Amino acid sequence: MKIFDCKTNHMTNPLGFYLGTPRVSWKVSDTEGKSQKNARIYVSETPNFTQLIYDSGVSEEASSLGWEIPVKLRPYTRYYWKVAVEADNGEHGISETSWFETAKPDGPWDGQWIGYWESDTQNPVFCKDFFVDREVEDARIYVCGLGVYEVFLNGEKCGDEYLAPGCNDYNMWLQYQTYEVRLKKGENHIEASLGNGWYKSSMGFGGPDYGSDFCLILEIRKGEQLFCATDASWTVRHGDIISNSIYNGEWYAPGSGQKICAAKTVEGNGAKLMPRLSLPVRIKEKIRPKELIHTPAGEWVLDMGQNMTGFVQFVADAPKGAKIRLLHGEILQEGNFYNKNLRSAKAEYVYISDGQRRLVSPHFTYYGFRYVKIEGLSEIHLEDFTGCVLYSDLEDTGTLTTDHPKINQLISNIRRGQKSNFLDFPTDCPQRDERMGWTCDAQVFLNTACFNMDSYAFYSKYLWDMAMTQKEVGCVTEIIPAFGENTPACSAWGDAATIMPWNLYLFYGDKTILQQQYECMKQWADYEFSQDEKDGGSRLWKLKKGFGDWLAMDHDDPKEMFLGATDLTYISTAYYYYSTMIVAQTARILGNQAAYDLYFTRACEIKDAFTKEYVTASGRLAINTQTAYILALYMGLLPDNAVEQNADALEAKLLSNNGYLNTGFLGTAYICQVLSAAGKDEAAYRLLFNEGTPSWLYGVNLGATTVWERWNSLNPDGSISSEGMNSFNHYAYGSVMEWMYRYMAGINPAAESPGFKKAVLTPRPNFRLKSVEASLNSPAGIYTVGWHMETDKTIRLRVQVPFDCEARLILPFSNGREELLRAGSYEFHYKAIKPLGEPPEIDGPFNRLKECIPVRPLLDKYFAGWQNIPRFHGQDSLARL
């Protein structure tokens, strides 16, 4: 028996994080046993467990999804833990030792905030020499620096993270980090180098910065013993980074720093310091540039081969005074470097040589880019450049591959989109003068993100910040942190407050996120209610201004194009219902019956009002857009007897649009799922395989390596469709990957069992693919599903169900056949009820045209190869000619 993925609060061996009551979790493999009979958790302050501070005893309740350690934790302490598991067949296993370490106690620090702002330095470096009378192997540095900081002890950087302390609502809370360090006997030298970061850069739409002054607080200690702390005895000098900001990049001139003077003690910004929640941002991948391009305009441009977030590191070897400049862009235009879509973000890196050869890279900024224009180097050697991909330290959990190269490329693009926008908080895009935590983008992508990577801890920090912002501003804002955009969010954006924690709970089966967010969730639902009440209490949310179905393609009026055609009151009321119902369910799970009754009754009233306003007596929806059908179906807003007819109406609506979607951020997230849920897999697959615009493969065909903000970010000839708001690395439309996991591969947690202890496996093969292989290292263990079409009527299916889990395998293509599977590996051969290797018959105009003999010469002339085009594809392609 192997016990793996032992985590505390969904992190491996967290050092200095805020832990609350810690919850440990584990997974089991390599056993003949099927389920866990019992488990026993041991916690000790010593790695050899000589003295236990907690022993759960042999417990049949101890769930591997999360078990609280009910111990009052001491500060500055590393707790070691392990778990012993007994399986139903009597097999035993014991895990390796894991640990979690607490940070400082609440309360005042020995260190004082120190600062320096008399000159206009962009990079103060605070320094101190201190003496230690013995070597200390395992000291700790506790530190927070604003804007962002790096700490060096005896010339070596502490830790390997970037852009600490991360980005959050700095008015409300500050995160400090903990580093494990070794102190020398004798003199030690500590330095903290600060840059502007999010705190001091002008972010967003010109709102005020969070702060205007650099400041630092730091302690070096081992438990109660203090070796060094910030105070007025520290000195400060100008560092060599002569300018830096998140959007504009960095200028570095080694040797330019000067002037040493005393630091001053200051107030800090007044917000509460607390142990970190942010995962460290690290260089998670290194890539070599693919090519050096000499463009028609005569520029030298590196092609990294993929869009990415991070920076380029390079060997600088230039004469003293030489200025090397790197500019970052996402696409080429007419073969030349292009970066106008970054708007005001300069996204440059400038190095002014002191004549020394050295490896250089930025410290306090990052870029979203594929191409790097290089100026100021007389010779460029590709091998001198390395792409460093930065994102928060998350583990991959899901894999998905098909036999179709374009779909695989799309999958890879979606993953890269996630990595590119998971730099401490979920951003809309990583390149232009925005890079902000837009709530709707985060909300629609969350499930995909959780399939791809273990995202619980990452989102939990974002949601904590949302709750903080809500406390500060009085409402959920459209962007978290708000960067001064303090107006209340509109529908779908603000509903992130309920949808995100709820979906995290369903995926991970950990109620803590609901407890953490409950107040924030309730306040959002109450805010919606208050807006409705102000407007007469109709139980419709008549929102006047919002982002609608952002970037949908179904509005006739080009001025309204961004918002799509779906009525705003309709959208808002749908989300008002959905959020209220989520709050009701959350109250039930948290054992609050009175709140459940209140929100449930309110949700029913909203649904009634919605039905009266938007559903005709015969069950037809009064708002006739794709997104209107999708939201009503997905959110359960329709009377039971109207579900099928509206799913049919959605399908018909798609067909009348040549089988194409025209949805924006909202409709797109659910479109394939509602189709499949209604048994219309073929329609969902058709959308996935469409190649015209709007479709996912349109971008793939034009060489995309990440997901674009707009369906038509590029025109078919490769020219950019517009400059003002056009990113090539926006993950929102990547939300379709959730459907791929849930339906194409068919992996779902069972509704009654959040966290995948029970799963529903319901793969949906389709003639467009020969095989799909998926695996998910779920919170409960590793599921795999692989299907392979052996003939057009036989499917080979391989399934793996993890230990202590159970799966219902449901096979719609084989007459709805069902199997109940316990832990183990299975292989089946199924006969389909009808051939799977062919497209279904569709009575579309092209199919009729093909039958029409007099038209054939014309088709030959204008539509070469028409005979080979499968029936539906033909209809589709013709419509796009």
Angle at CA of residue 436, ends 674 and 511, nearest 5°: 55
Q: What is the DSSP letter of 6?
A: E
Amino acid making up residue 194:
L
Nearest distance in Å: CB 428, ligand BGC: 4
Nearest to ligand BGC of 102, 341 (CB atom): 341
Question: Residue 412: what are its φ and ψ, rounded to 5°?
Answer: -65, -35
The separation between the first and the last C-alpha atoms of the chain, rounded to the nearest angstrom, is 60
Per DSSP, the three-state class of 819 is strand
Question: Which string of x and - marks every residue 201-240 that binds ligand BGC (by CB under 6 A)?
Answer: ----------------------------------------
Q: Which of 424, 441, 681, 804 binds ligand BGC (CB under 6 A)?
A: 441
Say what the alpha-carbon torsion angle 440, 432, 340, 561 is, to the nearest 10 degrees. 10
Nearest distance in Å: CB 148, ligand BGC: 23
Upstream peptide bond of 870 is cis (omega within 30 degrees of 0): no
Q: Are 728 and 486 in contact (CB under 8 A)?
A: no
Q: With CA atoms as reference, report the closest residue to 176 among 248, 67, 268.
A: 268
Of the ranges 371-379, 433-441, 564-572, 754-762, which one interacts with ligand BGC (CB under 6 A)?
433-441
Of the ranges 323-331, 413-421, 426-434, 745-753, which one interacts with ligand BGC (CB under 6 A)?
426-434
Residues 701-740 that bind ligand BGC (CB under 6 A): 725, 730
Q: Are 444 and 735 in contact (CB under 8 A)?
A: yes
| Catalytic residue, candidates 150, 709, 738, 806 | 709
User: Can you tell me which residue has the tokens 């050697």?
Assistant: 381
Nearest to ligand BGC of 102, 627 (CB atom): 627
Number of residues engaging ligand BGC in binding (CB under 6 A): 10
Q: With CA atoms as reference, report the closest residue to 842 among 812, 813, 864, 870.
A: 870
Nearest distance in Å: CB 734, ligand BGC: 12
Question: Residue 415: what are its φ and ψ, rounded to 5°?
Answer: -60, -45
Q: In whole angstroms, how far apart are CA 504 and each of 479, 511, 574, 709, 718?
A: 19, 9, 21, 25, 38
Of the ranges 70-78, 115-123, 434-442, 504-512, which one interacts with ligand BGC (CB under 6 A)?
434-442
Nearest to ligand BGC of 604, 725 (CB atom): 725
The rounded distance, in Å, linking the Cα atoms of 83 and 24 is: 9
Nearest distance in Å: CB 657, ligand BGC: 24
The structure tokens listed for 214 are 């650099």
Question: Which string of x and - marks every residue 538-567 that binds ligand BGC (by CB under 6 A)?
Answer: ---------x--x-----------------
Residues in the chain: 881
Q: With CA atoms as reference, report the closest residue to 398 among 448, 453, 444, 457.
A: 453
Amino acid making up residue 224:
E
The rounded distance, in Å, linking the Cα atoms of 247 and 804 is: 48
Nearest to ligand BGC of 126, 547 (CB atom): 547
Q: Which of 15, 273, 440, 799 binds ligand BGC (CB under 6 A)?
A: 440
Of the ranges 229-237, 432-440, 675-683, 807-815, which one interacts with ligand BGC (CB under 6 A)?
432-440
Q: With CA atoms as reference, report the closest residue to 791 among 832, 826, 735.
A: 832
Nearest distance in Å: CB 526, ligand BGC: 23
Q: Which of 348, 428, 532, 804 binds ligand BGC (CB under 6 A)?
A: 428
Nearest to ligand BGC of 5, 428 (CB atom): 428
The rounded distance, in Å, linking the Cα atoms of 242 and 195 is: 10
Nearest distance in Å: CB 384, ligand BGC: 34
Q: Are 330 and 370 in contact (CB under 8 A)?
A: yes
Indicate whether 434 belongs to the interface with ligand BGC (CB under 6 A). Answer: yes
Nearest to ligand BGC of 16, 481 (CB atom): 481
Q: In whole angstroms, how far apart are CA 600 and each of 208, 214, 498, 586, 687?
A: 40, 48, 15, 11, 35
Per-state percent for the chain, helix, strand, coil, to nearest 5: 30, 30, 40
Of the ranges 61-69, 438-446, 612-620, 644-652, which one interacts with ligand BGC (CB under 6 A)?
438-446
Q: Is 118 a catalytic residue?
A: no
Strand 367-375 relative to strand 357-360: parallel, antiparallel, unpaired?
Answer: unpaired
The rounded distance, in Å, linking the Cα atoms of 595 and 747 is: 33
Amino acid making up residue 193:
S
Nearest to ligand BGC of 441, 532 (CB atom): 441
Distance from the Cα of residue 508 to its chain's centroid = 15
Nearest distance in Å: CB 438, ligand BGC: 4
Q: Is 434 a catalytic residue?
A: yes
Nearest to ligand BGC of 429, 603 (CB atom): 429
The rounded distance, in Å, linking the Cα atoms of 415 and 411 is: 6
Q: What is the DSSP letter of 383?
A: G
Of the ranges 71-79, 225-233, 437-445, 623-631, which one interacts with ligand BGC (CB under 6 A)?
437-445
Q: Are 73 and 17 in contact (CB under 8 A)?
A: no
Nearest distance in Å: CB 546, ligand BGC: 9
The structure tokens listed for 298 are 């005569």
Indicate whether 126 belongs to the interface with ligand BGC (CB under 6 A). Answer: no
The structure tokens listed for 676 are 């499949």
Residues 489-548 that bind ligand BGC (CB under 6 A): 547
Nearest distance in Å: CB 413, ligand BGC: 17
Q: In sequence order, which residues have a C-beta less than 8 Å from that of residue 724 and are 6 or more positions away?
A: 343
Nearest to ligand BGC of 709, 876 (CB atom): 709
Nearest distance in Å: CB 801, ligand BGC: 38
Nearest distance in Å: CB 429, ligand BGC: 6
Nearest distance in Å: CB 424, ligand BGC: 17
| Catalytic residue, candidates 101, 161, 330, 434 | 434
Nearest to ligand BGC of 665, 813 (CB atom): 665
Nearest to ligand BGC of 709, 804 (CB atom): 709
Nearest to ligand BGC of 738, 806 (CB atom): 738
The rounded distance, in Å, linking the Cα atoms of 158 and 189 is: 12
Count of C-beta atoms within a 10 Å radius of residue 438: 25
Indicate whether 438 belongs to the interface with ligand BGC (CB under 6 A). Answer: yes
The rounded distance, in Å, linking the Cα atoms of 654 and 676 is: 14
Nearest distance in Å: CB 434, ligand BGC: 5
Q: Are 695 and 687 in contact (CB under 8 A)?
A: yes
Indicate whether 576 belongs to the interface with ligand BGC (CB under 6 A). Answer: no
Q: Are 241 and 361 in contact (CB under 8 A)?
A: no
Q: Are 772 and 402 in contact (CB under 8 A)?
A: yes
Q: In whole angstroms, how far apart are CA 363 and each of 149, 195, 234, 367, 379?
A: 9, 8, 22, 12, 25
Nearest to ligand BGC of 251, 731 (CB atom): 731
Per DSSP, the three-state class of 640 is helix
- Residues recognised as catalytic: 434, 709
Which residues contribute to the site for ligand BGC (CB under 6 A)?
428-429, 434, 438, 440-441, 547, 550, 725, 730
